[in-house]
Structure 1
Amino acid sequence: MKGLLFDSNSSENRARRDLVHDRCRAYTRSPSKGHFKKLKTLFNKCGNDVRIEYGFHCDYGNKISFGEGVYLNINCTILDGGDVIIGDDVLIGPNVQFITVNHEIQASARLHKKAYVQSIKIGNKVWIGAGVIILPGAIIEDNVVVGAGSIVTGLLKSNRLYTGNPAQLNKEIE
């Protein structure tokens, strides 16, 4: 499934991206409480005890929802043309990428600069290891561990450890 058509080049979306990128850069330069408060105002939802380390980047912010007790380690990237919903007590390792945007495969179709978006949903009590890439339409249910360097392309069911490219079931966990 391609997802919903999304015009990332509209004047409204370009202006929003510019604002959000400026706030992300300011937070990275000086991750003070003042910059964090400004960053939090960009999000659709930001629960209590959310911690975001330096190097955080997103495109729009208003499509991101963080539950309670979420931790994002350094250099997290969220390309949020589509919704990114992250549950409670989620640990996100360094250099993790959430990608909701996709493009046409055929070169001639890409010339029209169309983008398609699909949401990403992360359940509760999930640990996402370093360098994981989560692609459009991915769903990670509750109590899942995603091993470092894995690429998530679809549904990861609850209470399991997944590793690899693409992420595959490694073993069930409690």
Structure 2
Amino acid sequence: MTEKQKMLAGEMYNPSDPELMKERHAVRLLFQEFNRLDENHFEERKAVLYKIFKNGGENLYVEPPFYCDYGSNIIIGKNLFINFNCCILDVAKVTIGNNCMIGPYVQIYTATHPLEFKARNGGKEYAKPIIIGDNVWIGGNATICPGITLGNNVIVGSGAVITKSFPNDVVIAGNPAKIIKTINNN
């Protein structure tokens, strides 16, 4: 297997692999261009955004600055709003459903590292995919850790650290996040 195949399969891989470094560099050039363009260049910004998100749905709006590892591992439904300073480490697949809102400074991390220091110091890492359902609102400064699934209609409180998955129709908050309310969406 190539290092990229290992990465996408959730196995330990070498992030210093030349192919992966080339892909990360290419998307960095794109998000740097996107982040430089102001509101007067809306259509140009939008075109660059869809180069970053090759799997982006319709009505995608992102406030710069925005950062990611690859972009190509982010699958986006329609009607997504991402506020300022979002960072998505998309070493594994990140799936974001329809009609979602992501607040400022939200961090979405699929990348993780071995617990054993010898393996960690060896430079290898691995990743776990993240799934965000439809109609999810993620408050500012929230952090979503590797391997998390958020169900449909979930609201994430500002500053929450999500270390486990949550079902549909709940409000979660805290560090670590926990359910603070169930939503009746009938």
Distance in 2 of aligned mates of 1:148 and 1:61:
24
DSSP-derived class of the 1:78 partner: strand
Aligned match for 2:11, one of 4, 13, 25: 4
Do 2:91 and 2:127's aligned partners in 1 also have CA atoms closer than 8 Å?
yes
CA apart distance, 1:25: 1.1
- Look up the match of 1:153: 163
How many aligned residue pairs are there?
A: 172
- 1:16 equivalent in alignment to 2:23: yes
Distance in 1 of aligned mates of 2:54 and 2:165:
24
- Look up the match of 1:50: 60
5+ long unaligned stretches in structure 1: none
- 1:118 equivalent in alignment to 2:125: no
5+ long unaligned stretches in structure 2: 1-9
CA apart distance, 1:26: 1.1
- Look up the match of 2:6: none
Distance in 2 of aligned mates of 1:109 and 1:172:
41
- 1:143 equivalent in alignment to 2:153: yes
CA apart distance, 1:75: 0.5
Identical aligned residues as a percent: 34
Aligned match for 1:103, one of 108, 113, 128: 113
Supply the RMSD in Å over aligned alpha carbons.
1.2
CA apart distance, 1:5: 2.1
CA apart distance, 1:39: 2.7
- For residues 125-154 of structure 1, the C-alpha deviation after alignment (integer angstroms, 9 at most, x for no partner) is 000000000010000000000000001112
- Look up the match of 1:40: 50
Do 2:77 and 2:96's aligned partners in 1 also have CA atoms closer than 8 Å?
yes
Distance in 2 of aligned mates of 1:148 and 1:64:
22
- Look up the match of 1:80: 90
- For residues 88-147 of structure 1, the C-alpha deviation after alignment (integer angstroms, 9 at most, x for no partner) is 000000000010000122322212111111000000000000000001000000000000
Say which structure is richer in helix.
Answer: 2
TM-score normalised by the chain length of structure 1: 0.94
